[in-house]
Amino acid sequence: MADPDTRTDPEKLKALEDRIAKLKGAGPEGRPKSEEHYSQATIAWRMVTELVAGLGIGFGIGYGLDALFGTRPFLMVLFIFLGFAAGIKTMMRTAQEAQTRAQEGHETGSDNGGNRS
């Protein structure tokens, strides 16, 4: 049976937790390296959703105004283009946020050393 002092020693427990985290592939923050991949996929889906939402909202507004004023399809086409432009602008803002976060990660040294799998 194990010595009771080794079971309750906080330093040994911390060393064991660090070894387990290292073997599991966790990064310095304790997050698995695979979470970076998922966060990139999440950003990509967010950008796609923003573009589609812009197009959908532009279509809805244009269609509604065309029905109201009887100008089909003039306003619908116009608002689809405006929605597309708004979606692109929102996507660019999201990309800038992601780039800023990535640069902050490089400055703090929380990247995984350039090892991409």
C-beta of residue 75 within 8 angstroms of C-beta of residue 62: yes
pLDDT, residue 93, reads: 96
pTM above 0.75, yes or no: no
C-beta of residue 65 within 8 angstroms of C-beta of residue 75: yes
Helix pair 74-108, 34-69: axis angle to 10 deg: 160
- Mean pLDDT score of the chain, rounded to an integer? 82
Eight-state DSSP code of residue 26: B
Percent of all residues in the chain with a pLDDT value above 70, rounded to a whole number: 74
Using only the alpha carbons of the chain, give its radius of gyration. 25
- Least confident window among 44-48, 62-66, 88-92, 109-113: 109-113
SS (HEC) of 96-111: HHHHHHHHHHHHHCCC
pLDDT, residue 27, reads: 55
The 10 Å Cβ neighbour count of residue 76 is 20
Structural tokens at position 84:
């597309």
pLDDT, residue 10, reads: 87
When comparing pLDDT for 58 and 17, which is higher? 58
**Segment 62-88 mean pLDDT:** 96
Percent of all residues in the chain with a pLDDT value above 90, rounded to a whole number: 46
Q: Please calculate the CA angle 90-95-96 and round it to the nearest 5 degrees.
A: 95
